[in-house]
Structure 1
Amino acid sequence: MIAEACGYMPLEPMDITINGIMTASMTISGVYLALRAWKMKNIALAFLSAAMLSFFSTILVNIVFPPDMIFPRSVAAANYAIFLVLFTKHAFYKDKKSIFKIVSTTVVILRAVHFTEMNLLGFAAPSYIPITPSQLGWYYFHLVVLTSQLAIAFSWLGFAALNEHVAMKAETVEPWVRNRYLVIGTAYALFAIASLAYFIVPTDGLALGSPDAFLANVIIVPTVVAHSALSLLAWTMPGWFKRLLNAGKPSRAAPERQEIFEAVSKDVQDRAITTPELMNVIDYIGGKLASKLNKSPGAVKGLFLMAIDKELGELGLYTVNLSKLILVTNNSLKNLLMDIGIDGAEAIVADLARDLVKNQSLLLMMSI
């Protein structure tokens, strides 16, 4: 798991198995998320997809270039930590106070040091060449640089997801949405633990195949496998897994077009592009707005759809993201509310905009 991050193909069967499982998980998830990012024009998903596909690119570079060609391997090594930090920022903390500057600066500096020391020292982690006593200091320096950037990036995403899992208690959402945060948080916390466990991998050149690697295998193998499985399921969310996360309750069907399009002109209906996931987003936002207006949810959801169409055009519903939703709320929605004589329209849309920023990751989780 760390070996390919350092730019060396693993030699032991256990390493090959672990890397194969993780590469398959990240590649499948990365391709799926890339398609979703393209269709939704969503920068957060693009960063997450890039993080996962960069893992595959590292493996590919390791296959193409032999171990003594350090430079191309160092270029491809561990870039997914940077992309993951960017995803966490855009998915959870856009327009919100966060430690993004500290985290991103730290990870970028560590990545630069990692690139430099790889070219100067040429260490791999785990090492398939015995580390002599005189080399141990530099080898563990290499481990600190590598694992720190991974642990920071994965821990920040894990923390953000677990924090949202707790916060969702106050929101009216289905159990699978809230539990999805729990799965993501657990998966990325496990990866952080697994990366730190490489400090106990023997340095005799046999890595996880060493007779002294029992404890390392006990920690690394199950955590990496669990991370790979949970991450794949959390991001692709197959139907059976969604039902499982829904705590045995039947999933609420996506809102019917008839309900959403109540009081919406036929012209808007004909031009609207909808999917169940995105209709769930409109359903959630419309419900929030309906509670503020004390109006029928169906009519209010239709009103919000009209605002999207007016502000963004026919592709608006299919490219929903936080920035566009804020734009729709502050402009077209406010104007529509004023046109139909809603008192305090400005205060209502300002309150809704704050809700959207606060729950920005929820909108993403419901649309992928």
Structure 2
Amino acid sequence: MDATQATSISISLIYTTLQAIIAAFLFHRMRAARLKELQFVFLTFTSATLGALLGIAWTGFRIIFNPLVAIFILPFVEATFYRKKQSRYKSMLATSLALYAYVIVARLAWQFGSGEEGLVAIYYSYILAILAIYLACYGWFFASCIETRKKISTSKGIEPWVKFRYVLLIFSCASAIATAVFPLAYPSHESFHEQAAVMKVVMAASNLLFSITSLTAWFMPAWLKRVLNERSRDSLVFSTVPMTAIASRPVSEKLGSALIMSIIDHLGNRLAPRINKSPGAVKGLLLLSLEAAEQQHGVTGIDFTLLHDAIVDDVKSRLDQLGIPNVDAIINELEHDVIDIQSLLVVGKF
């Protein structure tokens, strides 16, 4: 075993370990934070771990499990970014599954077929199919993160570490796509030993980068959150509106967490100029609406459905009572604001 091979194996072992750690942590966070959306990300990293482990017995398992690392991202993006929002989820899922079926058939044909020229064509066809799956799945995740990051970039209420998590997820998506690009430069039958050895290291390194960015994104250390927030402490403006109606106990206790307060700040700052009221008064109104929605649904804690219903129903009713003109148009805009930032309820929750 030469130095290049040893390096490739070492990096692969680190990659497999990190994938397993991420999967385990996600399972714990999914249960602790009651975030059903994370089950799809958990399955993503579980697939990566299984592919790496089973690939020791037969390298074909790596190819068979590899597309699942991308495909499971699709339902996560749909559930996190696109509730009550038009998307191409069904068509992308159907296309990805069709390509996945082709990958399995082509990989088996390459493994057990004969004829060098035909096998080379089959090899690159399923590598291209995997790349197409990654471009579709992680490309959609990439674009969704960029879009949301732009919408909250100037919001003073959203904590900096939450904004930075979107940046890390963007880099994670890009590195995931890179892991599907490099195999195109890998010889189909390792006929060129030096090229194969070098590309093994490159592919292992790209997989490791994906693991590191993913681990940091999903499990951002508390110290990093503190550093990011302290650097922008002067720009953070969280609403602390005193209201006798909710003064009996802290708002964070009523509504769940500082995340809800930051979302209220964001929405309040956008709604205030539309109804010509002070931001503080508008945020108080939004808080009262959320409290009413909690009581109506008999739940504790805010999810997207409750937040959306509070905006569409209770806030609309309160604005009507205040005699605000063009309430329907205002609520429609506010509803779009809620839909646009809905991923905060997952990405910013832990």
TM range (shorter): 0.7 to 0.9
> How far apart in 2 are the matches of 1:247 and 1:206?
54
RMSD over aligned Cα, in angstroms? 3.8
- Specify which of 116, 125, 148 is matched with residue 141 of structure 1: 125
Structure 1 residue identity aligned to 2:290: I
Report if the CA contact (8 A) 1:33-1:48 is conserved: yes
Deviations 1:26-48 (A, max 9, x none): 44444444444445554433322
By how many angstroms is 1:360 displaced?
A: 2.8
How far residue 269 of structure 1 moved from its aligned partner, in angstroms, is 5.2
1:67 aligns with 2:58: yes
What are the superposed Cα offsets for residues 141-187 of structure 1, whole Å, 9 maximum, x if unpaired? 33223333233322222233234444545544455444433332222
1:191-211, CA deviations, whole angstroms, 9 ceiling, x for partnerless residues? 21222111222345599xx43
Q: Deviations over 1:22-68 (max 9, x none)?
A: 334444444444444445554433322332233234445557xx439
Q: Aligned pair 1:236/2:227, yes or no? A: no
Alignment counterpart, residue 262 of structure 2, candidates 253, 259, 280: 280
Aligned length: 341
Per-residue CA deviations over 1:288-321 (Å, capped at 9, x if unaligned) read: 3344444444443343233223223487563422
AA in 1 matched with 2:89: F
Per mean C-alpha deviation after superposition, the further-off stretch among 326-335 and 344-353 is 344-353
Q: Is the 8 A contact 1:309 1:316 kept in 2?
A: no
- Taking the aligned partners of 1:307 and 1:335, their CA distance within structure 2 comes to 9
TM-score (norm 2): 0.77
Q: Which runs of 5+ in 1 are unaligned?
A: 1-11, 124-130
Aligned to 1:329: 311
Quick one: which of 97, 102, 120 aligns to 1:108?
97
Q: Which amino acid aligns with 1:328?
A: A
The residue aligned with 1:182 is: 167
The reply to whether residue 351 of structure 1 matches residue 338 of structure 2 is no
Report deviation, 1:268.
Answer: 7.1
Deviates more, 1:242-251 or 1:282-291: 242-251
Q: Quick one: which of 167, 177, 182 aligns to 1:192?
A: 177
Matched AA of 1:153: C
Rounded to whole Å, the distance in 2 between the matches of 1:224 and 1:251 is 38
Give 2:16's match in structure 1, choosing from 3, 16, 23: 23
Of the three residues 264, 269, 273, the one matched with 2:245 is: 264
Q: Cα deviation per residue 1:217-255 (whole Å; 9 max; x = unaligned)?
A: 564344333222222212222234335656943386684
After TM superposition, list the pairs within 5 Å mapping 1:1-368 onto structure 2: 13-38=6-31, 41-59=34-52, 61=54, 66-67=57-58, 76=65, 78-122=67-111, 135-169=119-153, 171-172=155-156, 173=158, 175-205=160-190, 210-213=193-196, 215-217=198-200, 219-242=202-225, 248-250=231-233, 255=238, 259=240, 262-265=243-246, 272-313=254-295, 316=299, 318-321=301-304, 323-339=305-321, 342-368=324-350
State the identity %.
24
The alpha carbon displacement at 1:273 in A equals: 4.9
